[in-house]
A and B are shown apart, each in its own frame.
Chain A
């Protein structure tokens, strides 16, 4: 980045901010995402009950619904009702946020870190190793994510952190592929050649010269992977694989609520709604990030 570019940076940021405000959807998406993030971080403090705390009143209808947002909260014992075991749906939806961010959020983050490292190295080194690893990554990509996840869970079994590991193995190859194709183009540019001629170390060239140019594409990819990750975690939970009751996994909650739908629809509606709202929010946000990156680059 040259000196003139640096001085232009504030105006660039201003332009981005103005763009964000003029297109309200990405902004709304980001705000909703941040709201969920707060729920994930402070979930244990916000949720009135433990996720497996059982009340004697099973399948009690919601007493105030979204009225829980009212700060006074009069008569809000179970805002989203209770399920067939008398567990508080409101608390379980909040603690489910924690579960989603722990699995999909942290899993995606680690997948991005690992995938980026692999992509940077094989893209920069090239040669036979790159060719072989790239083929191997392709064969990972030949399998739909859900299928790959099922194969992994079938052979790993339902161990404690299987789901976490699965997300990393499913998404790291995809990220590596994106990074690799970016690196292949970037490494031909002058500034990389200059660094090589200066005799910089390989580590310096990879992480200080090439990585910054990859970051825009990486941010877009990461937000996209996160939204798919939420889906994957929920779908596997729904299929009853890798998550077991009483874990507050949204997909698992929806699956358990199916049989009770006609008499206790709230058991299904709130966790299903949470999945849909979070996924829409993340999609809007990632759409916004993509446009932002395209505009500034």
Chain B
């Protein structure tokens, strides 16, 4: 087990290191002079040169990378190009906001898609399975911004307008949300964006769950359990699901990337002050320090989730940790 954990930890750290180098290179080596972006398009060459020295861009690339990554780990994420203020407090706040939305989305999406996936798998090949696969195919083909706009225009502007029992400010969308609110207080504001983001996850998690359960149903122990006369529901609940659902942690970790991409768009639709909308702002203004910081955090979260999922899976399933 210890060797397994160390092995996974090593891969996690190596991928993280490689990805950080990649992000650094993508924002430095590609055409487009960083110092000129910061100094402004019409700045005289001397001013550009001064900015270059201030930012340490005249040093060799490995030194620049090393400075960047050590500062990042220490919490010194540099100043924004547009506002010239430290980006750390802002990015942290946005991360918290996005995290809230992500948690709520997972809370809605995971139970629904698990049920759909299990039902589809148990009905493999018949009408119910077909309907569920058409549903997931339809959902996966709807861009987040289309579902988001639809939700705003029908649920928020048409239906909720007439719901007198709902306080007026709650009938809109995410715009009334304030970061000081507690999780339960912010729920009404987050529900619509979370539903829009749920649609993204639903299809993937349902498909992965369905595949997992079908694979498990073909195992020998299922036939054994059936042949020894156990009632079908007990075979399913006690044997199949217990084994099929332990990879759910992995499924969630895998779909985290999808969730994050989805949230970027959903936050833009609902004008929600999260990490995604900050990233869009940064890209529009070519604010490289913010872009680097946000992408680095996101990738770290995704890789960490995958690492933890691997550990949990191995903990639940001795074959995995002993097999290697």
Contact = CB atoms under 8 A, between A and B. Distances in A.
Interface of A: 135-136, 138-140, 142-147, 150-157, 231, 234-235, 238-241, 251, 254-255, 258, 261-262, 268, 272, 275-276, 279-280, 283-284, 287
Complex A-B, nearest 9 residue pairs according to Cβ-Cβ distance, in ascending order: A146-B261, A139-B19, A139-B18, A144-B257, A154-B283, A279-B141, A144-B261, A280-B141, A154-B291
B303 A151 contact: no
A207 B22 CA distance: 30
- Scoring A143, A153, A275, A280 by chain B CB atoms within 10 A of each residue's CB, the highest score goes to A143
Contacts of A276: 141-143, 146
B140 A275 contact: no
25 contacts: A139-B18, A142-B15, A142-B299, A142-B302, A143-B19, A143-B299, A144-B260, A146-B264, A147-B295, A150-B283, A150-B295, A151-B23, A154-B287, A157-B32, A234-B143, A235-B144, A238-B143, A239-B265, A239-B280, A241-B284, A251-B143, A268-B149, A272-B149, A280-B138, A283-B140
Main DSSP-derived SS at the A contact region: helix
A157 B284 CA distance: 8
A238 B27 contact: no
Interface string B288-311: 100100010011001100000000
A135 B303 CA distance: 14
B137 A283 contact: yes
B32 to A, nearest CB: 5
A262 B141 CA distance: 24
Given A139-B22, A143-B299, A240-B284, A155 B257 contact: no
Contact of B295 (A143, A231, A258, A287): A143
Given A272-B143, A283-B140, 17 more contacts: A139-B15, A142-B15, A143-B295, A143-B298, A147-B261, A154-B283, A154-B288, A155-B26, A155-B288, A235-B145, A241-B280, A241-B283, A254-B146, A275-B146, A276-B142, A280-B141, A283-B137
Contacts of B145: 235, 238, 251, 254-255
B322 interface: no
A251 B268 CA distance: 13
Interface in B91-147: 137-138, 140-146
A136 B27 CA distance: 16
B200 to A, nearest CB: 10
Contact of A142 (B137, B143, B303): B303
B236 interface: no
Interface in B1-28: 14-15, 18-19, 21-23, 26-28
B66 interface: no
A230 B144 CA distance: 13
A208 to B, nearest CB: 34
Contacts of B257: 143-144
Contacts of A144: 257-258, 260-261, 298, 302
Contacts of A140: 22
Given A144-B258, A241-B283, A279-B141, A156 B146 contact: no
